Amino acid sequence: QLQLQESGPGLVKPSETLSLICTVSGGSISTTDHYWGWIRQPPGKGLEWIGSISFDGSTIYSPSLKSRITISVDSSKNQFSLKLSSMTAADTAVYYCADWNTSSGWFDPWGQGTLVTVSS
């Protein structure tokens, strides 16, 4: 069965760029019509969709973050990644990657999540 695992730094300094990787196992990231997504959750708060990417690299970003994010896919490594620039304390959150079903719009399964703290 499909499993996803986020990896990246747990601490980022203000103004720096966050780079996270999601490694997919149990299936190919390049499966036709397959999509993937990033979602975040500030401590004690709700969920926020960041953006999604298709098997062939087409992206859809949240307008509120669009100017700062880049999502890409590396088929050779069965990974997709998130870059979020100009980090501030407001970007402190648990970041999740997930498989995204575009027909009904649900995310499943999710990675376990990785906490990213923005602090100097």
Partner 1 sequence: DIQMTQSPSSVSASVGDRVTITCRASQGISSFLVWYQQKSGKAPKLLIYDASTLHSGVPSRFSGSGYGTDFTLTINSLQPEDFATYYCQQANSFPLTFGQGTRLEI
Residue closer to partner 1, measured from CB, 2 or 16: 2
| Among 7, 54, 62, 117, interactor with partner 1 by CB under 8 A | 62
Contact in structure between 55 and 32 (CB atoms under 8 Å): yes
| Among 43, 46, 67, 76, interactor with partner 1 by CB under 8 A | 46
Question: CA angle, corner 84, sides to 106 and 21, nearest 5?
Answer: 65
Number of other CB atoms surrounding residue 54 within 10 Å: 17
Question: Phi and psi (nearest 5°) for 91?
Answer: -90, 0
SS3 40: strand
**23 makes contact with partner 1 (CB under 8 A):** no
Site residue total, partner 1 (CB under 8 A): 21
| Among 32, 43, 63, 90, interactor with partner 1 by CB under 8 A | 63
Q: Which residues bind partner 1 (CB under 8 A)?
A: 46-49, 60, 62-64, 96, 98, 101, 104-113
